Amino acid sequence: MLFLSHIGDPKIAFNIYFPVAYYLHNSVGKRVLWAAVISEWLNSVLKWLLHGERPYWWVHTSGFYKQEHVPHLQQFSITCETGPGSPSGHAMVTSAVWYVLVSDFLYYQQIQSFGLKILCWATYVIMMCAVCLSRLFIATHFPHQVSAGIIIGILLGMVMNSLATSALQLPFYLLTSFLLAFIATMTYLLLNLVGIDPFWSLASATKWCAFQEWVHLDTTLFYCIVRDISCLLGLGLAVFCCQFKKLTCRSQKTIILQVLVAVLMLHAGDRLKLNIHNIVLFYVEAFFKHLFLTFVVAAGIPVVFSLF
């Protein structure tokens, strides 16, 4: 169950699905990153607005149970996410990204077999159900939260699948990043204005998590939004730089090496410890980390390999 939750983690879309898709097919990789960014950003804004609870703290705070009858929910190291619960980010981001991957695979491989199409989409449905069940199992989400995540994610996947990524240039990336930052900031200020603490769920997670070391700042909504904006900017800068460098055709061996280098680099970057003692510095470091890593994946590694 924990493994299924891990493969549905939104960061896997940035650290694995994006680089693999990008080196196999440039425009599909860009579309995967766009799907991950927009779905995670929208998920963060919706979580702020919908104020959803999570099971592992709801059983204690809802008042539904008497103190002596509160059910014991087993927690795991990945249970204590700090953002509100609705809709599920794992379900929403993964359903959007996997939708793009499956539909683009069928399109670019020119799959005509009805049976193979059914097999691909059946696998998609089964895997999404498995990811959602894992989120229920670890007491992180309620059924309606993962259901909402899947539905919204599929709709976003359909929209992203129609995006002509090859035509997008740096000004579009800059404008979109600005709009995402502006809307998120306005949402945050509006919540404060009406007396709602945007960080209310962090306090609940900290109080009711079985072990404090299971509470991580990189699961906060602010971190997700920072990652989304910085990755989009990183990709935009890569597109701008690559237009001045004609990349040669790549062999299968080169593609495999590029994927390995990128995944290992992103894994190392994911393990990089940020300054958790200064919250502002933490988010600034996160911004530049993800911008740099995305730029290197989308431009740096391909340019270096084109020299050989």
For 13-59, what is the HEC assignment?
HHHHHHHHHHHHCHHHHHHHHHHHHHHHHHHHHHHHHHCCCCHHHHH
The verdict on whether 277 is a catalytic residue reads: no
DSSP-based helix, strand, coil % in the chain, nearest 5: 75, 0, 25
Q: Is 229 exposed, middle or buried (0-12, 13-18, 19+ CB in 10 A)?
A: buried
Instruction: Please report, for residues 2, 183, 204, the alpha-carbon distance to residue 153 in angstroms, rounded to integers and kept in the order given.
Output: 21, 20, 27
The verdict on whether 6 is a catalytic residue reads: no
pTM: 0.94
b/e map 230-245, b = 16+ CB within 10 Å: bbbbbbbbbbbebeee
Instruction: Please report, for residues 125, 146, 149, 288, 299, the alpha-carbon distance to residue 43 in angstroms, rounded to integers and kept in the order given.
Output: 20, 12, 8, 22, 28
Highest averaged pLDDT of the listed ranges 245-259, 264-278, 284-298: 284-298
User: Which residues are part of a known binding site?
Assistant: 54, 135
Average pLDDT in the 154-159 region?
A: 97
pLDDT band at 183 (very low <50, low <70, confident <90, very high): very high
Task: Please give the DSSP secondary-structure letter assigned to residue 307.
Answer: T
User: Which residues are part of a known binding site for substrate?
Assistant: 54, 135
pLDDT digits (tens, 9 = 90+) for 17-40: 999 999 999 999 999 999 999 999
Instruction: Please report, for residues 38, 114, 135, 145, 205, the alpha-carbon distance to residue 74 in angstroms, rounded to integers and kept in the order given.
Output: 32, 43, 13, 19, 15
The domain segmentation of the chain, as residue ranges, is 2-306
| pLDDT attached to residue 3 | 86
Catalytic-labelled residue, pool 51, 60, 90, 144: 90
Percent of the chain scoring above 90 in pLDDT: 81
Q: Which residue has the higher pLDDT, 307 or 93?
A: 93
Nearest CA to 10 among 299, 197, 290, 209?
A: 290
How many degrees, rounded to 5, is the angle at CA 81 between CA 10 and CA 215?
A: 120
pLDDT digits (tens, 9 = 90+) for 268-282: 999 888 988 899 999
Catalytic-labelled residue, pool 141, 216, 277, 290: 141
